[in-house]
Chains A and B, each alone.
Chain A
Amino acid sequence: MDTSGEGGIMYSKGSNLKDWAFLVPQESMNTWAVILDDPNPIHLDANAAKQVGLGDKTINQGPANIAYILNMIEENFPNSRILKMNNKMTDSVLEGDLVTVSGQISEIKAEGDQFIASCSIQLTVGEDKIAVLSEIDVLFERSQ
Chain B
Amino acid sequence: MGEVTTNIPDSKPSAPVTEAAMDDLDKDAKFKTRNVDVFYGDKQALFGVDLDIRANEVTALIGPSGCGKSTYLRCLNRMNDTIDICKVQGQIELDGMDIYSNALDVVHLRAKVGMVFQKPNPFPKSIYENVSYGPRIHGIAAGKEDLDQIVEESLTRAGLWKEVKDRLNEPGTSLSGGQQQRLCIARAIAVQPEVILMDEPCSALDPIATARIEELIDELREKFTIAIVTHSMQQAARVSQRTAFFHLGYVVEVGETDKIFTSPDDKRTQDYITGRFG
Q: Do A and B come from one complex?
A: no
B residues near A, CB below 8 A? none
A residues near B, CB below 8 A? none
